[in-house]
Chains A and B, each alone.
Chain A
Amino acid sequence: GDSVTQMEGPVTLSEEAFLTINCTYTATGYPSLFWYVQYPGEGLQLLLKATKADDKGSNKGFEATYRKETTSFHLEKGSVQVSDSAVYFCALSRSNTGKLIFGQGTTLQVKP
């Protein structure tokens, strides 16, 4: 069945460091891919998305490119801030189903 695998955390970075969180997926066809972020004590917020191969999603300095050949959707940011500290979830969905399938989440801690 469909699945999403993320790199294990926590990821600890200093402010202004470069961020990469790896995400790979297993799915038939062409799923849509998402990154969600969860701040402490809150629900999930959509960070960015891509709906077809080679699409690049971007928002708030974060980027991810839909790579069909490597079944990946890695999240990157050039310069992280303390306020980026949160849990990041990679997810996929297919348009003919109602569900999002999530990875296990990666905790990011950014230190001043």
Chain B
Amino acid sequence: ETGVTQSPTHLIKTRGQQVTLRCSSQSGHNTVSWYQQALGQGPQFIFQYYREEENGRGNFPPRFSGLQFPNYSSELNVNALELDDSALYLCASSPSDSSYNEQFFGPGTRLTVL
């Protein structure tokens, strides 16, 4: 069984640019969540997608947006990058029958904004 995968592993952008991060869910999972983990901090919830629809959003501005595709893979898009967007971005998937929101995490994408 393939786990959650993310690409790319590392990314360097400059302020004002746009970035797209990608995530493939674990087999059988139809829910994907994205988190931002700043250095030395716990992950912060960005948003969740369930069956291609946004299903909850954290305290992040609209320049953070996402998509989920019919195969349940997902993208996180960030426009107008700021220095504070530098972080590890984690994707997590959940099984469709999870009754207690157990989430399985990918290895993350390390974004550096210069």
Contacts and interface: CB of A to CB of B under 8 A. Distances in A.
A36 B48 CA distance: 19
Interface stretch (A11-19, A76-84, A89-97): A89-97
Contacts of A27: none
Contacts of A4: 42
Nearest to A1: B59
B42 A46 contact: no
Interface string B8-50: 0000000000000000000000010101000011111101101
A105 B41 contact: yes
Given A98-B31, A99-B33, A101-B45, A49 B102 contact: yes
Interface stretch (B63-71, B72-80, B103-111): B103-111
A93 B58 CA distance: 13
Contacts of A44: 43, 90, 92, 105
Question: What interface size band does chain A fall in?
Answer: 20 to 34
Interface in A41-69: 42-46, 49, 51
Contact of A99 (B42, B56, B90, B99): B56
15 contacts: A34-B102, A42-B107, A42-B108, A43-B90, A45-B105, A49-B100, A89-B43, A93-B100, A95-B101, A98-B50, A100-B101, A101-B45, A102-B43, A103-B42, A105-B42
B55 interface: yes
A32 interface: yes
Nearest to B9: A41
